[in-house]
Structure 1
Amino acid sequence: MDNTANPAFDVTKRLRATSPKSVAIHEEAARVMAAEIVGTVEIACPVYIESASGSRLTDVDGKEYIDLTMGFGPHVLGHRPASVEKALAEQITRGWHWGIHNPLQHRLGELLLEAAPCGEQVVFCNTGTEATMYAIRAARAFTGKSVVAVFDGSYHGVHDYALLVAERSSDRRNPAPRRRGAGIPSEILETVAMLPYNDEAAFDIIRENRDRLAAVLVEPVQSSNPRTDIGPWLRELAKVCREAGVLLIVDEVITGFRLAYGGGQEYFDVDADLATYGKALGGGLPIGAVAGRTDVMSVFNTGSERARPIFSGGTFSGNPLTMAAGIAALTEMRDTPDLYPRLNGLGDRLAEAINRHARQHKMPVTMMNAGSMFHLRFAEGQIRSSRDITSRYVKAEHVFYQHLQECGVLVPGIHLAFVSAAHSEADIDAVAAAVTASLDTLRNDGMI
C-alpha cells in the first residue's frame, strides 16, 4: 500500500514530526514496561505530559492542549486548583504516609456521608476497582447469596467480577456474559449475571432470580452511554430491587461529585443500599470508597456482632495526603453554589454545537452527554445502549482523534471525556471548532 496517498498516514507523520521527545520516551518505555499504566495511546502518536494547570496540559515537547481527559474524571475543579494545592503543601510537611490512623479520615468521611444520599457509614480504599470489589463482597456477606448482576455496557473496574461484556450475538433483552480478556476463570460466569440496560426486561430477570441475587450493580450514567433520560428507569430499578430483597449498589466512581454534589443518586433521585466512589472524591489523588446503610456496612466491622465480617484493608487506604486533598476539593465543591449548573451547562453547550453541525452535514456522529461527561459516538440512528455502537467507523474514529490532537485538544484513549470548572466558554467554543473541523476533514477525505 502506498502510504503517501493515505490521509491517516499524513496526520500521523505530522504529529510524530512535532513530538520527538514523546516518541523517544514511548520507544524507551516499550523496552522496559510490559504495558504503561493506562492504555491511553490508542492514537498513532503518543503524548507524555510534563505539566498541567487549569484546563490545559503541556507535553514534553512544549505543546499545549485544552484537556478533556481531566485525569479520567477526578479533576472536577480543573488541574491544580489552589485549594487542593495548598492542602497538599501543608500536609506534606507533616508526612504523607503512616499506615496508622490519621484524623483526616473521618473528616473526609463526614463530607462524603453528607453528600451521599444512601450514606450512613463509609470505608476508604485506594481505587474505584477496589470499591466495587468490596461492595460486591459486602452484599454477598450481608445477604448470604452469591450472584451479582451487572448491566450490558457497564464498567466497574478491573477485578474479575467486573470484567464481563455481553456476547454481541446474545438476546439484547437477555444478554449472555463473556469474559473480557484472558486470565479470568470461567467460574466467574456462575456468580455474575448480566442484565439489559435501559430495558424493562431487566426487572423481570431480577424478580425471577431474587433467591440467588445478592445485589444489582449499576452506573447512574454508563460511561459508554452517557445520557440524562434514564431517571425513570433507574427509579423503577430501585423499586424492583427493594421489593425483591436484592441490594442495589450504585456505582458513583465516575458520577460522584460530577453530575451533582450528591452524584447520580441526587441527580436522578435514586435510593440505593450501597454506593461506590473514587475519582473526584480524592481531589486528584488515588482513592476509593464504599458508603451505605449501617446494617449493610456492619459486615466490614471486625468488632461487630456478626460472626464472620469480611476482610478489607490496604497499605495506603485513607492515607493523609489523599484525605487532605479530598477534604479541600469537596469543601470547595460544596461551597460553590453555581458549580454544577455551570459545569452541566458547559457540557450541554459543547454537545449542542457538535450535534448541530453533524445534523446540518448529515454526519453519522452523535455527541452523547450527561452534564460535564460526554462521549462522541460514530454511529447512525438512535443510540439506546452500547449495543447500538457498530464497528463501521472504527478507522475514521481512530484518525479523528489524531486530527483533534493536531488541533490542540486532548481526549483520552477511552474517549469518555470531561469538562471542568477551569474550562471557560471560550475553551468550549474552541473545542467545538476543533471537533467540527476534524469531522469536516474526515468527510473531505471520504472516511465518513
Structure 2
Amino acid sequence: MAVIDDILEKIVSKKIEKKEALKLFEELPEKEKKYMISELKKHLSNDVTIDQNNFSEKKGNSFKAVMEMQLGEEHKAFIDKMAEKLEKSTPKSKENASKDQAHLVDQRKTGGLKKALKRLQFHLTYDKGDGAYLYDIDGNKYIDIASDNGVNLFGHQPKFIKEAVIKRIEKGYPLVGYTEELAQVTKLFSELTGHERVLITQSGTEAVMWAVRIARAATQKNKIVIFEGAFHGLSDAVLAAKDQFGNSIAMGLGMLQEFANEIIVLDYGNMDHLDIIESRADEIAGVLIEPVQSRNPANQPVEFLKEVRKLTLEKDILLIMDEMITGFRVCCNGVQGLWNIKGDLATYGKIAAGGMPSGMIAGLAKYMNFVDGGVFNYDDNSMPSVKKALMAGTHTRNPVKLAATLAILTEIKNRCIASGDEICTPNSCFLNELNEKTSIMCKELNSFFTLKKVPIVIEYFSSLFRFKFLDDPNGVVKELLFVLMRMNGVETSPSGNCFLTMAHSDNDIKSIIKTVKKSIDTLLEEKFFYESDIVEEVENKIENKEDVKIVMSASSSDMRNNQEQESKKNDQMEKLRNLIISDLKNFQEKGVTI
C-alpha cells in the first residue's frame, strides 16, 4: 500500500488540496480505495466512546502516535542512538540473531517488524528463566511478562514441576504404552474442570483441530462457525478471515479456499449474527468460541454467549469452548465456570501442561467417545460402541509432559484446598488475588495514559493484558514502546499478549509500572506523540467531513446522501468502528503471530 500511504501522508502534511486528493483517489485500484477509506474513517472516528475495562476511548486524548511515514530526522536519530545502546548491552544476542538466519527458519522474527526499527527488533537469546525473570546470554535480567505466551502460571521452572520432570526422566519416558501419570492426569483434570472425559494431544492447535473433527463426526455436518478476532491455532480447519461482504476467505499463502468455504466467520457479541447460525443450523457442526478472546480481552459478551449456548442446544450443534488461554487462569474451570456456560467440548493447553508441548480436549462422554469408541470391559462381551474418528500421535502420552501436567494440576488442587474448597469456585479461587493485582496494575497505567493524554489503553481479563494503541494499532510507536520496555528491563511478547504470574512479586509489579511510565515519558520527550489538533487540520484541508464522505462515495453509492448520513450519525458510529477494525484486518496485517 505504498501509493496510498504516500497520498495519506500528503493529506496529513497539507501538501495537496482537496481536488487533487479526490483525483488521486479516483485513479486508485479498488482494493487501495478501500484501504484509503478505512484510513479516512479512522481519522473521523475519534469521538466514538466504548466502555471497556473501565476506560473510554474518546476524543479527549490530546496526542496521536507518529506513524512510520511521519518519522522525522530527530526520530530517526533517536532510534539510531537506541540501536547503538542496545547493541552494546546485548552483543551476543545481536550476533546470534544475524548469523542464525542462514539456517534457522523462524516464523516469529517478523512479528511486528518495522523497517524503521529493524535494528532494535532482533530476538534475544535467553540463557535461563527463573521464577518471574529471564536472563539473556549477555547477562541482562528482565522481568518476564510474556510468560511464554501464557503457559507459565507459576513462573519459570517452579520447584514442583522441575522435580517431577527430573524424576520421570530418570525413569525413562516410553511413548507408546501407558504410564501411571496418564490415568492420574485425566482423572484430576476431569475433577478440576467438571468435564466427563479427557484426551491428551500434542499441541493446542491439534486439540482444536481434533475437536472440530469430533463435532463433524458427531453431527455429520460440515460447517464450523468461528468469530472474528479469535485465535484457534494454525490448522487450516479453523483459519479464515471475512471479506467486506461477509464471505469467508483463506487467510494466506498455501491455504486453500476450499477449507475456508467450510468456515462461517461471524462477529463476536453481535446478537444479529445469531440469526445466521439459526438459519444455517442444518449445515453447522460446531460453533467454536474463545469465550474471552486473547486478542480482544475487553470484549466479554456474556449474554451473547448464553444465547449461543441456548441456540446450539436447540439446533443439535456442538459448542466448543477454546479455553487454551483462559482455562486455569480465571479459575480452575475457566470462563465456563465463571459465567456458568458449559461447552459440549473444550480445549486447553497453555497452563495445564506446565509449559510442555501438549493440549487437551475435554467434554461430554457421548462426544469424546468418537475418539476411542467409548468405555468397554476386558472381561466380558462388551466392545466399543461408537464408530471412531481417526486420531493419532506419537507424543500424545509422552510421560515427561504428563509428569509436568500432573504436578501442575496437583499444585492447583492443593491451592484450592488451602483456600477452603476441595474444588475451585470462581468466588473463592486462589487465582482471585493474582487477577486483582492485574486489574489494579492495569487501572493505574490506564490512569497514567489518560493523565499524559496518550492514545493507549490496556485491555485485560484475569491475568492477561494487552497494550492497545487507539489510533495506530500496529504502528511503529507501539513496537518502539516494547523495545524501550525491554531496554528498561521488562520483556514482552511478539504476540502482544502479556501476563502476570504467581511468581511476580509486588515489587516486580511496581517495577513493571515504573518501566511503562518511563518508556512513555521517553516517547513523549522524543516527540513520538504529537498534538491531535492535526486531525482538525486534516479535516479542514479536505474542508469538512462531508468532503471525506464524497471521497468515500467514489466506491460506495450507499454513502452519497450526506444529509441522510448525518441524521443517522449516532446509529452509525458503532458500525463505523467495526468497519475500521475489519478494514485494517483485511488490508493491513493479515498475518498471525503466536
TM-score, normalised to structure 1's length?
A: 0.92
Give the drift of 1:115: 2.0
Alignment-mate amino acid for residue 172 of structure 2: G
Which runs of structure 2 are paired with 1:294-305 in the superposition (5 Å)?
294-302=365-373, 304-305=384-385
| Residue 371 of structure 1 pairs with residue 442 of structure 2 | no
Which runs of structure 2 are paired with 1:231-380 in the superposition (5 Å)?
231-302=302-373, 304-307=384-387, 309-336=388-415, 337=419, 339-379=430-470
- Structure 1 residues 38 and 72, CA, compared in 2 at 3 Å: closer, same or farther? farther
User: In the alignment, what sits opposite 1:385?
Assistant: none
Is the Cα–Cα contact under 8 Å of residues 112 and 494 in structure 2 kept in the other structure? Answer: yes
Give the drift of 1:326: 0.7
Query: Quick check: which one's helix share is greater?
Result: 2
Count of residues in Structure 1 that have an aligned counterpart in Structure 2: 431
User: In the alignment, what sits opposite 1:384?
Assistant: none
Give distance in 1, aligned partners of 2:506 and 2:112. 28
- Structure 1 residues 282 and 258, CA, compared in 2 at 3 Å: closer, same or farther? same
Which runs of structure 2 are paired with 1:168-187 in the superposition (5 Å)?
169-170=244-245, 175-187=246-258
User: In the alignment, what sits opposite 2:68?
Assistant: none
Is the Cα–Cα contact under 8 Å of residues 21 and 61 in structure 1 kept in the other structure? Answer: yes
3-state DSSP of counterpart to 1:78:
coil
User: In the alignment, what sits opposite 1:160?
Assistant: 236
CA-to-aligned-CA distance 1:273-303 (integer Å, 9 cap, x gap) = 0000111110111111111111111111146
- Structure 1 residues 257 and 39, CA, compared in 2 at 3 Å: closer, same or farther? farther
Higher-Rg member (1/2): 2
Give the drift of 1:165: 2.6
Give distance in 1, aligned partners of 2:411 and 2:112. 33
Give the drift of 1:376: 0.7
Give the drift of 1:181: 1.9
User: In the alignment, what sits opposite 1:24?
Assistant: 95
| Residue 426 of structure 1 pairs with residue 497 of structure 2 | no
3-state DSSP of counterpart to 2:485:
helix
Give distance in 2, aligned partners of 1:89 and 1:41. 37
Give the drift of 1:41: 7.9
Give the drift of 1:228: 7.0
User: In the alignment, what sits opposite 2:212?
Assistant: 136
Give distance in 1, aligned partners of 2:225 and 2:170. 45
- Structure 1 residues 400 and 4, CA, compared in 2 at 3 Å: closer, same or farther? closer
Give distance in 1, aligned partners of 2:183 and 2:313. 30
3-state DSSP of counterpart to 1:432:
helix
Give distance in 2, aligned partners of 1:446 and 1:21. 31
Alignment-mate amino acid for residue 447 of structure 1: F
3-state DSSP of counterpart to 1:6:
helix
3-state DSSP of counterpart to 1:161:
helix
CA-to-aligned-CA distance 1:249-283 (integer Å, 9 cap, x gap) = 00011111111111111122112100001111101
Give the drift of 1:440: 2.0
- Structure 1 residues 5 and 29, CA, compared in 2 at 3 Å: closer, same or farther? closer
CA-to-aligned-CA distance 1:300-339 (integer Å, 9 cap, x gap) = 11462234x1111111112111111111111112221363
User: In the alignment, what sits opposite 2:140?
Assistant: 63
Give distance in 2, aligned partners of 1:131 and 1:80. 25
- Structure 1 residues 39 and 284, CA, compared in 2 at 3 Å: closer, same or farther? farther
- Structure 1 residues 100 and 379, CA, compared in 2 at 3 Å: closer, same or farther? same
Give the drift of 1:350: 1.6
Is the Cα–Cα contact under 8 Å of residues 235 and 271 in structure 1 kept in the other structure? Answer: no
Alignment-mate amino acid for residue 357 of structure 1: F
CA-to-aligned-CA distance 1:360-384 (integer Å, 9 cap, x gap) = 122111100001001110015xxxx
3-state DSSP of counterpart to 2:288:
strand
Which one is further off, 223-232 or 78-87? Answer: 223-232
Give the drift of 1:429: 1.4
3-state DSSP of counterpart to 1:51:
strand
3-state DSSP of counterpart to 1:257:
coil
| Residue 221 of structure 1 pairs with residue 298 of structure 2 | no
Uncovered stretches (5+) of structure 2, i.e. residues with no partner: 1-71, 114-119, 374-382, 420-428, 530-594
Percent identical pairs in the alignment equals 28
| Residue 405 of structure 1 pairs with residue 482 of structure 2 | no
Alignment-mate amino acid for residue 406 of structure 2: I
Uncovered stretches (5+) of structure 1, i.e. residues with no partner: 381-389
Give the drift of 1:39: 6.0
Is the Cα–Cα contact under 8 Å of residues 339 and 421 in structure 1 kept in the other structure? Answer: no
User: In the alignment, what sits opposite 1:194?
Assistant: 265
Alignment-mate amino acid for residue 491 of structure 2: L
Give distance in 1, aligned partners of 2:527 and 2:307. 45
Give distance in 2, aligned partners of 1:41 and 1:13. 20
